[in-house]
Structure 1
Amino acid sequence: MRITSFRATPVAVPYRREEVWAFGRRRGQVSVLLEVETDEGVTGLGEAAAYPSAEIVLAVLRGLEPMVLGADPRRIERLVRGIELVGTWHHVKATSPAIAAVEMACWDIVGKLCGQPLVNLLGGRFRDRVEFFYYVAAGSPEQVAEEAARAASAGFSTCYLKVGADDPEVDLERVAALRAGAGDSTLLRVDANEAWSPGAAVRMIRRLEPYDLELVEQPVSGRNLAELAYVRGRVGVPILANEASWTRYDQLAVINAGAADVLSVDNQMDGGLLNLKRSAGLCEAAGLPVVKHSLGELGVALAAAVHAIAATPNFRYANQGYAALLADDVTEGFGAVESTVRGSLAVPEGPGLGVRLDPERVAKYAELFRAQGERFAFHDPAAVSAPLALPKF
């Protein structure tokens, strides 16, 4: 069997409410859908988050053609190692989502060939459902409380909120509103996206401790693990590494530095599902749990993640998902919007990823990308024009 061609389709799917974090905002999800065709008529699906942009993902996919076309999609390790080493793509992290999409499509092909859901090829079911948190969009305290109440009534066990506002008092008001809206039994996780200095992080986390936080995600720079370890040693809330732990090499450094209690892992940021499994294995050997990070996923990449998480023991926390933000999806019957029931997703039963694209919605959102793609980018024009600094204070 050989790969004969692949087709990349960028799509833009609106959010129900804008995503806002310490240094920017997005009004929707841009992903590049990948269809990998073979000489035996089996087509595999993949998806790459448009990180850092759809144009870069598409350029990387074009660059991968000489190494992918003609390759056997069943020899996944060999194919990916050729891309990383012969193609020298392992030096540039921005290439990872495109490589991950190719690897994902190959897994879909293999599963379809043997008539098995991907979870069975990655170790079998350790769990039947995969838990996700409810992403509470930043807003006024009243809006935050309303969204938190909605999450609790829908049965989500965990609410997630971005902090790192220019005024720390705004963060305190929002987290208080989050607790008030979610109630006492819901877990609360906050993410500063590196916005704080070590001293500010310690002060802020101590002031937030009365709200019984589950985790604080990346309170300080991910580039200085000594700072992260400093904060971890001075607060009572467990620390989740994210920007510090996007690849398995980064995770090894975080473990060695004793810088976090929990680590984020992400197949799209580390070039594939096999590397996600390797990341989780590293952390398990160190006695640490992991959570799945997301740059934003539609149904294809979401299904791939669910298969991998379901087959891996140490995903002990709710994972990052976009069900609360997405207004729609591009798959038939499986996606963040349709399939999240009381905060979790069942593992797809069909062969491979177990999902199919909805041609009408793919066409609709491909046209939206062509017409308005620049409006869905990561950057916030207002933030770009402001005098930015990391950390904020």
Structure 2
Amino acid sequence: MKITGYELFLVEPRWLFLRIDTDEGIAGWGEPIVEGKARTVAQCVEEMFDYLIGQDPTRIEEHWQVLAKGGFYRGGAVLNSALAGIDQALWDIAGKALGVPVHQLLGGHVRDRVRIYGWVGGETLQELAESAAEQVAKGLTAVKMNPCGQLEPLDTPATINAMVARVAAVREAVGPECDVALDFHGRFSGAMSRRVLPLLEPLLPMFVEEPVLPEFTQDLGAVVRSTSIPIATGERLYSRWDFRSVLSDGIAVAQPDISHAGGISETRRIAAMAEAHDVLVAPHCPLGPIALAASLQLDLAVPNFLIQEQALGIGYGDSSGLLNYLLDPSPFTPEAGYIPRLTGPGLGITIDEDAVRAAAERGHSWRNPVWRNADGSLAAW
């Protein structure tokens, strides 16, 4: 079997899909994307296909090594995200060629279903509580929220108290049987983290995600030591080498993104590294159906998996679009807060190519907002 061609599809709300074709009629799908830089990643994918055309698609590890290490410049968000989407598609082809789901190729499933969490949001405490209650009513056993909006580098007591109140409102709404995870999006400095996290401890968050920006991961050790709350990070770390220091610093949850961190191949290796540090894995995935399917395949095979993020109702644009790109959305139907094991060949989903091609005609130009501090300087989004 040989790779004969590929197509890229820029689809709303902010995604990039890749189809890889073979001479045996088997096509594989991947999702290579850096949100806000879709066209940049697409160009990188095209350059990588100078090597891939004519190759055997089942030599996944060989192609990963060449694409990751064959150039003088390595790693980073763009290169590893382009590689990630290609890697997903190659695993999809391999599974389809053998008639088995990808997790079977990874050693078989170690669990029968994958726990998921849903996002909650709202401007007021009542809106937050209602949003959280709606997720629990759907059967979810965990929710995640962002307790803060834009923050000053060292914000006021009023802002800090408001954050704590927001988390308390959600905790009261869902009760003690539901987990509440917190995402700070890298908006805290190390000093703010050490000030705020102890105040949240009585509310028993499942974990606090990305309290500081990835360029300040050297501060994570101090943050970990300052609180009993489990610390999570990793959505902006792109390889096992990026994860080395944070695993040693004592994080509790690693969050590689299967569309950024080198695909299924590299994310599996990151999970194995995490297991050696007694660290759980909760893959980052506010993306489309291909990235979610690839994440679920990995979740089923990874012993130290914790919980899966999903964009079935995350609120980025039209969240229903994720299902609209599938001929059959039933593989993603949750049952009591879990997605049952995917059993179809490859990634376990069937893409609706007509819907994808129609969306690609429209395209998108999604960009994240640019925030400013009170003095006009740039603030972390």
Displacement, 1:366? 2.3
Q: Residue 153 in 1 paired to residue 137 in 2? A: yes
Q: Give the whole-Å Cα distance in 2 for the aligned partners of 1:224 and 1:131.
A: 30
Displacement, 1:224? 2.9
Say which SS state the counterpart of residue 64 (structure 2) adopts. Answer: helix
Q: Equivalent pairs: percent with the same residue?
A: 26
Partner of 1:311: 301
Q: State how many pairs are aligned.
A: 367
Aligned residue runs from structure 1 range 65-144, under 5 A = 65-88=49-72, 90-144=74-128
Q: Give the whole-Å Cα distance in 2 for the aligned partners of 1:77 and 1:189.
A: 35
Displacement, 1:391? 7.1
Partner of 1:362: 356
8 Å CA contact 2:258, 2:294 repeated in 1? no
Q: Which amino acid aligns with 2:257?
A: D
Aligned counterpart in structure 2 of residue 380 of structure 1, from 369, 375, 380? 369
8 Å CA contact 2:274, 2:280 repeated in 1? yes
Partner of 2:328: 333
Aligned counterpart in structure 2 of residue 292 of structure 1, from 273, 283, 288? 283
Q: Give the whole-Å Cα distance in 1 for the aligned partners of 2:86 and 2:375.
A: 38
Partner of 2:170: 178
Q: Which amino acid aligns with 1:37?
A: D
Aligned counterpart in structure 1 of residue 247 of structure 2, from 245, 255, 265? 255
Displacement, 1:312? 0.8
8 Å CA contact 1:130, 1:347 repeated in 2? yes
Q: Give the whole-Å Cα distance in 2 for the aligned partners of 1:153 and 1:54.
A: 35
| Cα deviation code 1:65-88 (max 9, x no counterpart) | 211111110101111111122234
Aligned counterpart in structure 1 of residue 201 of structure 2, from 209, 212, 216? 209
Partner of 2:310: 321
Q: 1:53 to 1:138 in 2, by over 3 A?
A: farther
Displacement, 1:12? 0.2
Unaligned runs of 5+ in 1: 14-29
Q: Which amino acid aligns with 1:77?
A: E
Question: TM-score, length-normalised on structure 1?
Answer: 0.87
Unaligned runs of 5+ in 2: 152-158
Q: Give the whole-Å Cα distance in 1 for the aligned partners of 2:127 and 2:58.
A: 48
8 Å CA contact 1:221, 1:228 repeated in 2? no
Displacement, 1:145? 0.9
Displacement, 1:102? 1.0
Displacement, 1:386? 8.1
Q: 1:246 to 1:61 in 2, by over 3 A?
A: closer
| Cα deviation code 1:209-232 (max 9, x no counterpart) | 222211111212332334211121
Q: Residue 345 in 1 paired to residue 339 in 2? A: yes
Displacement, 1:273? 0.6
Say which SS state the counterpart of residue 33 (structure 1) adopts. Answer: strand
Q: 1:269 to 1:138 in 2, by over 3 A?
A: farther
Q: Residue 200 in 1 paired to residue 192 in 2? A: yes
Considering only aligned residues, what root-mean-square deviation do their CA atoms show, in Å?
A: 2.3
Displacement, 1:281? 0.6
8 Å CA contact 2:75, 2:239 repeated in 1? no
